[in-house]
Homo-oligomer: A and B are copies of this chain.
Amino acid sequence: MPETHSRADRISGTRYGNRPTMKDVAARAGVGLKTVSRVVNGETGVTAETERRVQEAIDALGFRRNDSARVLRKGRTASIGLVLEDLADPFYGPLSRAVEEVARAHGALLINGSSAEDPDREQELVLALCARRVDGLVVIPAGDDHRYLEPELKAGVATVFVDRPAGRIDADVVLSDNYGGARAGVAHLIAHGHRRIGFIGDMPRIHTAAERLRGYRAAMEDAGIPVEDSWMSLGVTDPGRVRRAAEEMLSGPSPVTAVFAGNNRVTVTVVRVLAEQARRVALVGFDDFELADLLRPGVTVVAQDAATLGRTAAERLFRQLDGLLLTPERIELPTRLITRGSGELPPTD
């Protein structure tokens, strides 16, 4: 007989779902069902001898408690859901990990899904998670109307929004100071002598993009600089179009001498474009990214702390679950300007 069993053996041998249950364990150990339950859950009131017998049966049968059934009985699932835009985006990795760590500390598992920036997909995911009866939700919203969550909130699903506020419902939200950060970043460029400053950002229907745009406008207005339309490119994220947008504002009738990039993906593409330019163009990006310090010049950024964002949200979620939070709040975390060279270049007309 060969030493390795093929999967066919395994499946046909014991059909899927034919896992041993507490009943089977009880039968084998010659005890009652409830006694097995007690042993499995480490409850008191079982003789050492009985416990040994039960444990033996558990090991022999390869029994593992079915948490689905447990959930049904107990009400809580000890799992939380995280809905974000794209797990592959380096900004969300640390955020997700931070949420996971907090969940782990509370004995909960993390289910997560990517909305791909699509409101319908976000809703679909969120509702699927609610159907699974996750105890709580951390949501980085793609859509701007979350009334579909009303029944869930009523039913007691803890919910915290991150990075962008919820739309048309009253819920906790943890976000970065996008407006203040962008404003400071653009002011930094102005302080270094720039007046024709370009802005490349995402669609203004995305809250963060709108706020950063607002910060850009505010900084320009503070300095009394009228903004020309050709300096702004909104709703542009894919590399090809960002490239074109950057090239246009660099070569137009009143070419910019500096660029403010609305997020990390945009920044990276702009870096590429600027590297090809003959003249030196200043750059400040929103979001820090790895190796920004190793580029020549180093890239000056407005940094937000994704991990802290995630940790703060998750902690708030569990405080909700403990019944400690009564009123939805808006928590805004500060950003930090990190100067590395690209934002300190003087204008070259």
| Chain A residues in the interface with B (C-beta under 8 A) | 4-8, 10-11, 13-19, 62-69, 71-72, 75, 77, 79, 86-90, 92-94, 96-97, 100, 104, 109-114, 127-133, 150-156, 170, 268, 271-272, 275, 289-291, 294-296, 307, 320, 323, 325-328
Contact = CB atoms under 8 A, between A and B. Distances in A.
16 contacts: A11-B156, A13-B154, A14-B156, A17-B156, A64-B130, A67-B131, A68-B133, A72-B72, A88-B97, A90-B93, A100-B112, A100-B114, A109-B129, A111-B111, A111-B112, A271-B294
Contact of A295 (B132, B295, B307): B295
A50 B326 CA distance: 40
Contacts of A66: 72, 131, 133
A303 B132 CA distance: 38
B87 A150 contact: no
Contact of A132 (B68, B87, B155): B68
Nearest to A18: B155
A268 B15 CA distance: 49
A111 B113 contact: no
Contacts of A112: 100, 110-112
A111 B114 contact: no
Contacts of A111: 79, 109-112
Given A111-B110, A113-B109, A153 B88 contact: no
A113 B104 CA distance: 9
A2 to B, nearest CB: 10
B88 A96 contact: yes
Contacts of A291: 268, 271, 289-291, 295
A64 B327 contact: no
Contacts of A88: 93-94, 96-97, 307
A242 to B, nearest CB: 15
B75 A14 contact: no
Given A112-B110, A156-B16, A295-B294, A131 B65 contact: yes
A153 B63 CA distance: 12
A317 to B, nearest CB: 12
Contacts of A64: 127, 130-131, 151-152
B100 A87 contact: yes
Contacts of A89: 93
A6 B327 contact: yes
A327 B326 CA distance: 55
A155 B19 contact: yes
A7 B109 contact: no
Given A66-B133, A88-B96, A295-B295, 8 more contacts: A4-B170, A5-B170, A11-B156, A63-B151, A68-B132, A69-B72, A111-B112, A289-B290
